[in-house]
Amino acid sequence: MRVDFLAEQVCSRVPGGTGRYAAQLLAHLATSASGEDLHLRAVVGRPCARVTDVVPRVRTIGVGGPVLARLWERGLPPTLGPGADVVHAPTLLVPPVRKAALVVTVHDAVPWTHPDTLTPRGVSFHRRMAERAMARADLIITPTQRVAHQLAELLDPPCQVQAIPLGVTPMPVPPDAPARRVGLGIGRAPYVLFVGTREPRKGLDVLVTAMGHAELSHLDLVVVGPIGWGDVDVLTASNQAGIGSRVHLLGAVSDEDLAAVYAGAAALALPSRAEGFGIPVIEAMAHGVPVVISDDPSLLETAGGWATISAIGDPDSLAQALVSATSGSAGMTAMVAGAREHAGELTWERAAQRTLAAYRTALGRA
């Protein structure tokens, strides 16, 4: 089976969770290729070390980034497919395809359910490309059953929609983790951790307000992740909430530093207004960190009952959930142990094997 895997998101300036998905799935598919009848080729717009370091066979199509997105949004070349049996678009950057089965991963339904949390351009692009994917794909992959159900209700795709959970990226805690945290500017105070792109749907405004509650005054807030769109000014909001001196904005960090930051966290908070999966949830669980999430249905599915829940958009609810998560109670200790076991079942190896099975299903349909 010859598979062309579109790896453009891996090379993006802000890869985000979809970039993590594409990179890890590509790497584990490449590992699977040695024991399978699989001939895997990555497709990128421009040469990209993040891809060539992982996959030996790479096709460069000569145009990438926003230009490629505009071309494919209009259904224009470059066309993928000839020379492959299956083409996998791991995001909604969906290419024109001929003479091959098309598999597309749709990570969430946010452009329909929460369009106000995206740019108008982002809403337009994702809706248009998703509708094209529904019409042309031989199989759709989603990260949760919740997203699969949403797509069925919103777009009624004629092809099979299969939920394949994402995996935990192995991130061993480095032996110099305390020194790394100091180097990143994190002090000795216990801290609540947020991991993700700084954009409106992530609920950072709710988290900052919650951290202003008196019961949480002993905790700092560490924010890891790049700046997205929407002018989410965490520092100004923190100063207005009276917690500016307790907030540490780290930006994007290496996996080694991220492991060190997870290892020192009192809790992870992901109070998103909408998600498709929520990779930081299972990463934190794998590191034995208590997790607090909003009651977004996809986050609830990802957490599997092993997180403390707060109401979407409610700082008081979030504050109380954080108090509970950082209490050190026997009940919380048991929850953390269960969460670590739950995260251990979500591996990229398993996701890759299920994706390979999806390719075979799509090929049989094409």
Residue 232 pLDDT = 82
Q: Does the structure show a pLDDT above 80 at 344?
A: yes
Domain holding 195: CATH number?
Answer: 3.40.50.2000
What percentage of the chain reaches a pLDDT higher than 90?
90
Choice between 130 and 232, residue whose per-residue pLDDT is larger: 130
288 phi-psi bin (left φ>0, alpha ψ -120 to 50, beta other): left
Check pLDDT > 90 for residue 72: yes
Q: Which domain holds residue 248?
A: 177-344
pLDDT at 33 over 80: no
Q: How many percent of the chain have pLDDT more than 70?
A: 98
Residue 48 resides in a domain? yes
Shared domain for 129 and 9, answered yes or no, is: yes
Same domain, 152 and 118: yes
Residue 162 has pLDDT above 90, yes or no: yes
The two structure tokens encoding residue 239 = 């100063």
Does residue 275 sit within a domain? Answer: yes
User: Does position 263 have pLDDT exceeding 70, yes or no?
Assistant: yes
In a domain, 259, yes or no: yes
Kindly tell me if the per-residue pLDDT of 35 is higher than 70.
no
Q: Looking at the domain assignment, is residue 172 inside a domain? A: no
Alpha carbon separation from 355 to 131, 264, 278 (Å, rounded): 22, 34, 19
Q: What is the pLDDT of residues 184-239, one digit of tens each?
A: 999 899 999 999 999 999 999 999 999 999 999 999 999 999 988 777 889 899 99
pLDDT at 340: 98
Region class of 164: left (phi > 0), else alpha (psi between -120 and 50), else beta = beta
| Three-class HEC string of 95-106 | CCECCCEEEEEC
Same domain, 152 and 89: yes
Please report whether residue 77 resides in a domain: yes
33 lies in the same domain as 150 = yes
Q: How far apart are CA 342 and CA 128, in angstroms?
A: 36
Same-domain check for residues 230 and 187: yes
Is there a contact between 97 and 81 (Cβ–Cβ < 8 Å)? yes
Residues 65 and 151 in one domain: yes
Q: What is the pLDDT of residue 366?
A: 58
pLDDT in tens, 269-322: 999 999 999 999 999 999 999 999 999 999 999 999 999 999 999 999 999 999
Give the Cα separation of 196 and 100 in Å (integer): 35
Question: What integer is the mean pLDDT of 173-186?
Answer: 97
Tell which wins on pLDDT, 146 or 54: 146
CB proximity list for 315: less than 8 A, separation 6 or greater = 206, 207, 209, 210, 212, 213
Indicate whether 78 and 107 sit together in one domain: yes
C-beta of residue 281 within 8 angstroms of C-beta of residue 291 = yes
Residue type at 334?
Answer: A
Residues 242 and 158 in one domain: no
Asked if 212 and 124 sit in the same domain, the reply is: no
d(CA 282, CA 298): 13
Q: Determine, yes or no, domain membership for 359.
A: yes
Tell me whether residue 243 is in a domain: yes
**Chain-centre distance of CA 139, in angstroms?**
21
161 & 309 share domain: no
pLDDT value of residue 89: 98
Return the bridge partners of 88, or none.
5, 103
Average pLDDT, the chain: 95
E strand or H helix that includes residue 360: helix 348-365
Query: Domains in the chain: how many in total?
Result: 2
Based on the fold, state whether residues 134 and 234 are members of the same structural domain.
no
Closest of 177, 144, 141 to residue 159, by C-alpha? 141
Mean pLDDT of 10-39: 87
Which tokens in the block code for residue 202? 């992530």
pLDDT greater than 70 at residue 34: no
Phi, psi of 266 (to 5 degrees): -80, -30
Strand order in the sheet with 191-195: 247-251, 220-224, 191-195, 267-270, 291-294, 308-310
Which of the residue ranges 82-96, 106-120, 224-238 would you say has the lowest mean pLDDT? 224-238
In this structure, the answer to whether residues 161 and 187 fall within a common structural domain is no
